[in-house]
Every structure is written in C-alpha cells, then in structure tokens.
C-alpha cells in the first residue's frame, strides 16, 4: 500500500499517521497508491466469476459490479471528506499539538475511510481493465 511518511513513521491507512500530523491524502494520491501497490481489492473471486462467464453475460455482470462499486465509492468519498473536515477542525483547535499518547475516533475514522477508498479504487481499476477487453461473442478460438 502507501509508503510510510518519514515524518510520522506510519502510512495513511494507520490512525497514528493522522495523530502525528500526517497530511490527508487526496483522492488522486489514494488512487495512485492503489495503482502502485498492485492491490486488486477484496472482490477478486466475484470479479473472476463474472469474467469467466460467456458474453454478453460477462460484460453485464462486470458492469453491474462496477455500478455497485461506484455507489460504494461515492458513499465512502462523502464520509472521507467529512472525516477530513473533522480532523482539520481538531487540528485548528490545537487538540493534536501535544505529544500524542492515544488516537481518537477522528483518527480511526479517517484511516478506515482511507482504506475503504484504497480498496474501492483497486476494485474499480480491475473492473475497468476487465471491461476494456471484449471477449469473443461466439466463444470461437483463434
């Protein structure tokens, strides 16, 4: 996954990353992390089952999974933004300025949503790759 930040010693998927002042990653940075890691997400069995079906059922199932994942991504993105706002407000109040000894819910929440988004991006990348390949409609071997 994402490499650890030299400043915090943790990666953005860990609550202590945020507790120790780590920058909240943008969606582009999370997506890039998913690409660089090669992680494919938790749905590979389901995606592979759909990919093994003959056309046009294969494409229909893959598009259905992608539609479901886009909805999940939107929900996770909305919650991630809320968590980032809560973290910024906490930092503005100076609540994390002292030597940290324990992470709070806000740190757990944003780390968890980061990991959900990383997973969402990984799955969507795999789905888009699979959907870009049109299988033989009549299953002829060439």
Query: From the first residue on, what is the mean pLDDT of each consecutive set of 10 residues in the chain (142 residues)?
Result: 65 94 96 97 97 94 98 99 97 81 92 98 98 70 50
| Structure confidence at residue 53 (pLDDT) | 95
Residue 3 maps to a domain: no
Closest by CA to 70, choosing from 10, 19, 132, 123, is 123
The rounded distance, in Å, linking the Cα atoms of 109 and 34 is 19
| Structure confidence at residue 138 (pLDDT) | 59
Residue 137 maps to a domain: no
| Structure confidence at residue 104 (pLDDT) | 92
Q: How many domains, the chain?
A: 1
| Structure confidence at residue 133 (pLDDT) | 87
The rounded distance, in Å, linking the Cα atoms of 45 and 52 is 11
| Structure confidence at residue 141 (pLDDT) | 53
Residue 89 maps to a domain: yes
Residue 10 maps to a domain: no
Is the bond preceding 56 in cis, omega lying within 30 degrees of 0? yes
The rounded distance, in Å, linking the Cα atoms of 74 and 52 is 28
Residue 27 maps to a domain: yes
| Structure confidence at residue 102 (pLDDT) | 87
| Structure confidence at residue 3 (pLDDT) | 55
| Structure confidence at residue 97 (pLDDT) | 74
Tokens linked to 112: 């968890």
């Amino acid at each position: 996954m994402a490499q650890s930040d030299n400043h915090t010693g943790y990666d953005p998927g860990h609550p202590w990353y945020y507790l120790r002042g780590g920058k909240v990653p943008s969606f582009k940075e999370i997506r890039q992390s998913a690409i660089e890691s090669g992680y494919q997400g938790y749905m590979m069995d389901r995606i592979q089952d759909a990919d093994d079906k003959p056309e046009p059922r294969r494409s229909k199932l893959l598009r259905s999974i992608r539609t479901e994942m886009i909805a999940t991504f939107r929900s996770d993105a909305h919650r991630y933004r809320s968590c980032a706002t809560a973290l910024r407000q906490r930092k503005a109040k100076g609540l994390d300025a002292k030597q940290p000894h324990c992470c709070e819910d806000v740190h757990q929440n944003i780390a968890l949503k980061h990991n959900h988004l990383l997973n969402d991006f990984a799955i969507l990348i795999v789905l888009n790759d699979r959907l870009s390949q049109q299988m033989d409609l009549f299953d002829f071997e060439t």
